[in-house]
């Protein structure tokens, strides 16, 4: 189950992350500005956020396997549309379709993880699932960049669609139904279920925390390759090496950070990751022409901090919802993450400036300082999330975890 979820996350994350290194190719190929590229990235995020809200009311009403397959089919269809997109506006439409379906997949996956694994071991499970983030760099992004250099920018989307088709067949054949949560459902309508989850006071802090948590990646990452090429002096041929080496180290960090968060404490791990991330963002966003080895070293440390924040925060926030609300909570949480990320991406496209497709990216350091501010705010908010989870876990009337068809508490 962990392998299936990790591979599924790999395709979803890769579909988003591949847009970052493609910025160096898409901007000149489609004759678009950095602002228009930011719109392409944010279109996925906004459509994903909207679909998550629409699906939230139904998320706990069906077998999670069926939901997973339905949205994965739509996601792969959108990816194929990206692969055949001839123009900017067609690509924009394709990213909207991909986001409408892809945005729900992560929330369904997180609901499955929360259904199957206790909080005490959830950090290491999240660590393995988040290896997909690193794998998308180690395998997907370098291969995608090589394909782009040789066959054009459409080819990475064909790679995602082809691999996703094989995974979808495997899910149909081997994944068991996950229906334990249906035993806890009340006879609320989907609209009532959505409204109850959105307005339930213990969940509201988690939604606001996720809103702030999404800002960093959506601001800096979409323009990372363009910054590397135009500001740091890297070549398009060096980008695969950068992402490959950084990703290898991230693959190692994922499980280790997951185990650390279970043993040392999830909030302590989050704070440690935040401190490392802040230091690296300050350094990275203020670099000029830099040798490849130093850019790689900085990226390795930066991704270690990012993984520390991602794994520990997801494990903590996953403990907030009650079993009967997990699907709806995860869908709404994913929606606010995507919408806030879309706003951040669009805003970043307006803050930075590039006179021509080959000139330097201006004001990238400004984005870095904004991201650092959000990191500090989130660290404070995560403290209260941690306290909330501790009170819930120590409550005498705590509900037991769902026992589903797989039989893991």
Q: Is there a domain that residue 127 lies in?
A: yes
pLDDT of residue 405: 35
For the chain, the domain total comes to 1
Is 409 a member of any domain? Answer: no
For CA atoms 377, 382, 388, 390, give the dihedral sign: negative
In this prediction, residue 183 carries a pLDDT of 64
Residue ranges making up the domain that contains 20: 2-394
- For the stretch 198-201, contacts whose Cβ atoms lie closer than 8 Å and that sit 24 or more positions apart, written own/partner, are 198/56, 198/332, 200/325
pLDDT of 277: 93
What confidence score (pLDDT) does residue 186 get?
A: 58
Q: Tell me, yes or no, whether 189 lies in a domain.
A: yes
Domain presence at residue 228: yes
The answer to whether the CB of 174 falls within 8 A of the CB of 41 is: no
Instruction: State the first-to-last Cα distance of the chain, in angstroms, to the nearest integer.
Output: 14
pLDDT of residue 383: 93
Q: What is the pLDDT of residue 185?
A: 58
| Block mean pLDDT (10 aa), the chain, length 409 | 83 77 76 78 79 72 83 92 88 90 80 77 75 68 76 86 91 80 61 78 87 77 81 84 82 84 89 94 91 92 89 86 78 79 79 76 89 92 91 65 37
111 vs 317: CA distance, rounded Å: 11
Q: Is residue 400 part of a domain?
A: no
Residue 217: predicted pLDDT: 65
318 inside domain: yes
pLDDT for 63: 79
State the Cα–Cα distance between residues 337 and 364, nearest whole angstrom: 22
Residue 407: inside a domain: no
> Does 141 map to a domain?
yes
Query: Which CATH number fits the domain that encloses residue 289?
Result: 1.20.1250.20
């Amino acid at each position: 189950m962990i392998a299936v979820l990790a591979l599924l996350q790999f395709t979803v994350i890769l579909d988003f992350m591949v847009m970052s290194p493609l910025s160096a190719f898409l901007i000149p190929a489609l004759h678009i500005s950095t602002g228009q590229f930011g719109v392409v990235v944010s279109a996925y995020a906004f459509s994903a956020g909207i679909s998550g809200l629409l699906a939230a009311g139904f998320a706990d009403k069906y077998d999670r396997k069926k939901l997973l397959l339905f949205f994965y089919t739509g996601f792969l269809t959108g990816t194929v549309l990206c692969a055949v997109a001839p123009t900017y506006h067609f690509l924009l439409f394709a990213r909207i379709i991909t986001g409408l379906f892809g945005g729900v997949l992560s929330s369904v996956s997180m609901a499955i993880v929360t259904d199957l694994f206790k909080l005490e071991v959830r950090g290491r499970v999240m660590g393995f699932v988040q290896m997909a983030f690193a794998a998308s760099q180690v395998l997907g992004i370098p291969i995608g960049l090589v394909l782009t250099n040789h066959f054009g920018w459409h080819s990475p989307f064909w790679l995602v669609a082809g691999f996703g088709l094989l995974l979808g067949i495997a899910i149909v054949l081997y994944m068991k139904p996950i229906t334990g949560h249906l035993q806890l459902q009340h006879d609320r309508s989907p609209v009532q279920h959505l409204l109850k989850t959105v307005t339930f006071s213990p969940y509201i802090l988690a939604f606001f925390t996720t809103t702030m948590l999404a800002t960093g990646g959506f601001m800096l990452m979409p323009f990372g390759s363009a910054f590397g090429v135009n500001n740091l002096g890297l070549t398009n041929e060096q980008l695969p090496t950068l992402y490959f080496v950084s990703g290898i180290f991230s693959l190692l960090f994922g499980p280790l950070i997951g185990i650390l968060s279970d043993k040392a404490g999830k909030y302590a791990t989050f704070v440690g990751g935040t401190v490392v991330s802040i230091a690296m963002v300050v350094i990275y966003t203020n670099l000029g022409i830099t040798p490849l080895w130093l850019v790689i070293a900085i990226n390795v440390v930066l991704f270690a901090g990012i993984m520390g924040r991602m794994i520990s925060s997801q494990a903590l926030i996953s403990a907030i919802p009650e079993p009967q609300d997990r699907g709806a909570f995860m869908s709404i949480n994913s929606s606010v993450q995507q919408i806030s990320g879309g706003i951040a991406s669009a805003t970043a496209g307006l803050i930075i400036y590039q006179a021509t497709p080959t000139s330097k990216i201006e004001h990238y350091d400004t984005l870095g300082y904004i991201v650092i501010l959000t990191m500090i705010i989130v660290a404070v908010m995560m403290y209260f999330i941690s306290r909330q989870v501790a009170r819930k876990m120590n409550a005498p009337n705590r509900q037991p975890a769902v026992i589903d068809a797989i039989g893991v508490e």
